[in-house]
Amino acid sequence: MTAQEIRKAYLDFFKARGHSIIPRALLVPQDDPSTLFTGSGMQPLVPYLLGQEHPSGTRLSNSQTCLRAQDIEEVGDNRHTTFFEMLGNWSLGDYFKQEQISWVWDFMVNKIGLDKQRIFVSCYSGNAKLGLPKDTESAGIWHEIFTAEGLDAKQVEIGTQEQGSKHGEQSGRIFFYGDKNWWSRAGRPEEMPEGEPGGPDTELFYLYPQVKHNPAYGAYCHINCDCGRYIELGNCVFMEYLKTAMGFVKLPKRNVDYGGGLERVAAAAIDDPDVYMISLMQPVVNLLEKLSNKAYASNTTPMRVITDHLRAATFLAVDGVSASNKEQGYVMRRLIRRAVRFAFDLGIEQNFIEDVTNKIADIYEPDFPEVALRRHQVITSLSKEEKAFRQTLRKGLRQLDKLAKQSSISGQDLFTLYDTYGFPIELSTEEIYSRGLKLEDSWRVQFDKAMERQRERSRTASKGEFKGGLGGHGDIHKKYHTATHLLYKALRDTLGDTVVQHGSNITEERLRFDFSYPAKLTKEQLETIEDIVNAQIKRDLIVAWAEYPTAKALNEMGALGAFGDRYGDRVKVYSMTPKDSNKPYSLEVCGGPHVEHTALLSEGGKRFKIIKEESSSAGIRRIKAVLA
């Protein structure tokens, strides 16, 4: 089966079992300052896993595009990517372990056709000190399945990664690990704050016997070994506990959260441990072979990096991101520049991104209409960045000319060339040696330290990856969220109906709102917008919400939404209405939360005030505002 066929089969499989198929969320989370990107399928669903009712019901499924920028340096091996799709299904207080585990097995073996003898699983070994029991229920369900299939179902206690590398597989099929099989947004159960949910999980692994164990990862192989012999295909989280001051208690409603990597499942389906050989990526690899006149087998790293990075950049552009030096735009720029860097390694010196992006669009258009809709803009945006970067490379050469005047060149100098000018380290050292210049003896250590500091900054930016919703759900967050609705309507009242939201970001200190507009706003326009918002706050509009069919909300009622947002069959619509009228001032599709009436925004004599208006990217303006 191709990856496209697997994606469709998965959604059809769960639709037949009563699941609503919900649309993918944007790669850039809305109203969420805690993370730059949607990094997992469950991230947009956290409010519903915490108890909020989902408009589409208690059984949900989708294929969510994800991006994990912290994995950027790992790309180049046979399984790591920054961009991937996560096949997901969720039970919000509905079914639990028996159904979930049985369905995952049924799908993997009977629908996809994976070799059942090569499937292995892990379960949670428990934590006696915290009163968290061993997950014998999941292990028991797996034991029944394996035994019924005529497979040996030996259970083995592993504990930690280190213990696994010391003792190996021990002829097991069901393995118990500790913290590795516990899930919460905070990590280990000891690190969870009060009020945080979590639970045990069971993970599925696929054995590639053709891959030999690498002793660099430990004396013996086990299913959680990083050598690539076993690849994790999916993870069933059973969220059933709540951390309290008295310890862990059971949640009133138990949830299931399953996530499986489409690329990895597709690789297993063709029995190839190299995910770059699946139908979503091999056509791009073939194109790179043609452009470079070089074989993939002897140039795997550069071709993998280019394929992955330009897939990620393409979907970022589809979802409204433009390359820049800030936040998501910076990551997008870095992805494009790394792709061009590795194209240099392949000897591709002409502008090539247009060809590659066209190929990526060809692959995804049939299943993602938004790719077709924005194809031209995406190619223009990425090609423009490629051309600009080639100019940056020339600037880097000029910077190298300046460094040549020094007695020696340090690792920090090389990192500046890499980070500021996008200069590949390989090109830097080659130029230095060809010019007869001297590198400091410790240059590599210095460069690696500088690189590690950058990675740490990336990890910091990626913390809270699973935190959905706003930066919090306190009163100030609700006030600022309410204010964004008033600001959106005031912008359209002042600038016209062509204004469309392109994202927002809310913290305890301020709100940020991005919108389409071709020019810098004048002082008079900003003052008018402020006055409109404050007038509506003073009118004390009543804030309420109701669910409607999506077509009715958007087409008949005229509710506003953010650019690029995708919705299911039903949506939640928030209205802000004067007490003496039945006609709402503001009507928006939104998940909440908000205050009950707008006068609460002026508590303590506060007023809405715009503190900055600037360009976010081409054709997109950004307003930052406070209640002060």
pLDDT tens readout for residues 386-404: 988 877 777 887 888 888 8
DSSP letter string over 214-260? -GGG-SS--TT-TTSSEEEEEEEEEEEEEEETTEEEEEEEEEEEEEE
Residue 347 has pLDDT above 60, yes or no: yes
**CA-based end-to-end distance of the chain:** 58
- Rounded to whole angstroms, the Cα distance separating 448 from 460 reads 18
Considering the chain, what is the average pLDDT of its residues? Answer: 89
Domains 3-276 and 475-627 share a fold: no
pLDDT tens readout for residues 418-436: 887 777 676 688 678 878 8
Q: Which of 94-98, 165-169, 185-189, 371-375 has the lowest mean pLDDT?
A: 185-189
pLDDT tens readout for residues 545-560: 888 888 888 888 888 8
- Rounded to whole angstroms, the Cα distance separating 575 from 584 reads 6
The CATH code of the domain at 475-627 is: 3.30.980.10
**CB-CB contact of 119 with 106 (8 Å):** no
How high is the pLDDT of residue 460?
A: 63
How high is the pLDDT of residue 474?
A: 59
How high is the pLDDT of residue 568?
A: 75
How high is the pLDDT of residue 503?
A: 82
Q: What contacts 34, CB < 8 A, 6 or more positions away?
A: 463, 464, 467, 471
Strands 542-549 and 570-577: antiparallel
HSE, side-chain direction, 13 A CA sphere, residue 610: 26
Q: Which of 22-36, 329-343, 369-383, 498-512 has the lowest mean pLDDT?
A: 22-36
How high is the pLDDT of residue 62?
A: 94
**571 strand-pairing partners:** 548
Whole-prediction pTM: 0.73
Which range has highest mean pLDDT (93-102, 406-415, 442-451)?
93-102
The SS3 of residue 486 is helix
The DSSP H or E segment spanning 585 is none
pLDDT-based confidence at 77, cuts 50/70/90?
Answer: confident
Q: What percentage of residues in the chain have a pLDDT greater than 70? A: 95
How high is the pLDDT of residue 459?
A: 55
The DSSP H or E segment spanning 202 is strand 197-207
- Rounded to whole angstroms, the Cα distance separating 246 from 230 reads 39
Segment 313-324 mean pLDDT: 89
Side chain identity, residue 354: E
pLDDT tens readout for residues 88-127: 999 999 999 999 999 999 999 999 999 999 999 999 999 9
How high is the pLDDT of residue 306?
A: 95
Where in the chain are the domains?
Answer: 3-276, 281-392, 404-465, 475-627
Segment 504-530 mean pLDDT: 90
Which range has highest mean pLDDT (42-46, 206-210, 399-403, 404-408)?
206-210
Dihedral sign computed on CA atoms, order 587, 590, 591, 592: negative
Residue 324 has pLDDT above 90, yes or no: no
Residue 21 has pLDDT above 80, yes or no: yes
Residue 457 has pLDDT above 90, yes or no: no
Yes or no: domain 3-276 corresponds to CATH 3.40.50.2300: no
Segment 126-147 mean pLDDT: 96
The SS3 of residue 429 is helix
Closest of 85, 50, 63, 61 to residue 469, by C-alpha: 50
How high is the pLDDT of residue 201?
A: 96
Cis status, amide bond into 578, omega within 30 of 0: no
- Rounded to whole angstroms, the Cα distance separating 240 from 132 reads 11
Unique residue bearing structure tokens 């209405």 = 577
Rg (CA), the chain: 26
Q: What percentage of residues in the chain have a pLDDT greater than 90? A: 59
**CB-CB contact of 33 with 59 (8 Å):** no
